[in-house]
Chain A
Amino acid sequence: MNDIPFADYLRRFDYDERVAMKIQLPELLKLYAEGQVQLIDIRFNEEYAAWRLGIGRHIPLNELPDRLDELDPNKTIVTMCPHYDRAEIARLFLTLKGFHARYLTDGMLGLANHLRGDRARDYMDALQSDTTNH
């Protein structure tokens, strides 16, 4: 994949890119269930040790430059952290590395808040019944 010079990316940055670089929970959950997304938790190791998602992969932000081979260039890479500030750094880095990357605006805290109770049951049941994509 070809790197994109940062300056070129900035020159091209427009209203469309401002929207395209983000993803919200409903679209993420749909695309993930369809197997179109690779989810990356980019928090520090200590944060991952305290709690983790049952879906996606953990690659700390500072290890991302050396672990690009773990990413699937055929999928949309969705980066996430507790809120979204570090996820956006990761998203920008991956974009400049030539990946199709977006960051989860709702963050991992938003995901944990969204997928509770019956919504967690329904979504995880749906994933279970369609394991072909995972």
Chain B
Amino acid sequence: MTQTLDEFAATIVPAQMGNARIAIDAFITAYNKGEAELLDIRVPEETAVWQLNFGLRIPANELPARLDELPKDKLLVVACPLTDRSNMARSYLIAQGFNAKYLQGGLLGLVDRLKGVGAQDIRLDR
């Protein structure tokens, strides 16, 4: 199901943008069901500052060499601190045939959501 970049470009219209991204709560629900995997594409110096204790960690610039580490049977939710890099990485993964969306609100939005009692909403034992 590899999509060429030409085909991908044809989907960049307002009606399709909802398919490009996923909201934080929708991600948490899909993750807890085992239907989605998180992909943190920050550089190593950023993950050294702080780490999520779930999901995959592959820097964006290493993705081309490490595609075999990505699940094909799950929605890949690509995330960076905000959404600029994750959107680019998501486009790349789509062109490589993966089912991928970028995380709306970014990792900063996610850790804000996981504060206090909210931290119990993510299933770490999934």
Q: Is the pairing of A and B real?
A: yes
CB distance from B46 to the nearest CB of A (A): 4
- Chain B residues in 8 Å Cβ range of A121: 43, 45-46
Query: Which residues of chain A (22-62) have a CB below 8 Å from chain B?
Result: 43-44, 46-47, 49-55
Any A CB within 8 A of the CB of B112: yes
Tell me if B111 and A112 are in contact (CB < 8 A): yes
Residue of A nearest to B54 (CB): A50
Q: How far is the CA of A116 from the CA of B120 in the complex (A)?
A: 25
Number of interface residues, chain B, beta carbon within 8 A: 24
- Residue A89 at the chain B interface, CB threshold 8 Å: no
B49 partner, pick from A43, A54, A82, A109, beta carbons under 8 A: A54
The answer to whether B116 touches A113, judged by C-beta atoms less than 8 angstroms apart, is: no
Q: Size of chain A's interface in residues, with CB distance under 8 A?
A: 27
The verdict on A50 contacting B53 (CB below 8 Å), with A44-B116, A116-B81 known, is yes
- Option from A50, A81, A123, A124 in Cβ contact (under 8 Å) with B52: A50
Question: Per-position contact with A for B53-80: 1 when CB-CB < 8 Å, else 0?
Answer: 1100000000000000000000000000
Q: Are B52 and A112 in contact (CB under 8 A)?
A: no
A4 at the interface (CB under 8 A from B): no
Q: How far is the CA of A115 from the CA of B51 in the complex (A)?
A: 12
- Please provide the chain A residues from 76 to 134 with a CB less than 8 Å away from any CB of chain B in the complex: 81-83, 108-109, 111-113, 115-117, 120-121, 123-125
Tell me which residues across on chain A come within 8 A of B48, comparing CB atoms: 54, 120, 124
- Of all chain A residues, the one with the shortest Cβ separation from B43 is A121
**Complex alpha-carbon distance, A69 and B22, angstroms:** 45
Q: Which residues in B have some Cβ–Cβ distance to A below 8 Å?
A: 42-43, 45-54, 81, 107-108, 111-112, 114-116, 119-120, 122, 124
- Taking A49-B119, A52-B50, A83-B115 as known contacts, 5 extra A-B pairs with beta carbons closer than 8 A to each other, sorted by chain A number, are A47-B119, A51-B114, A82-B115, A108-B50, A121-B43
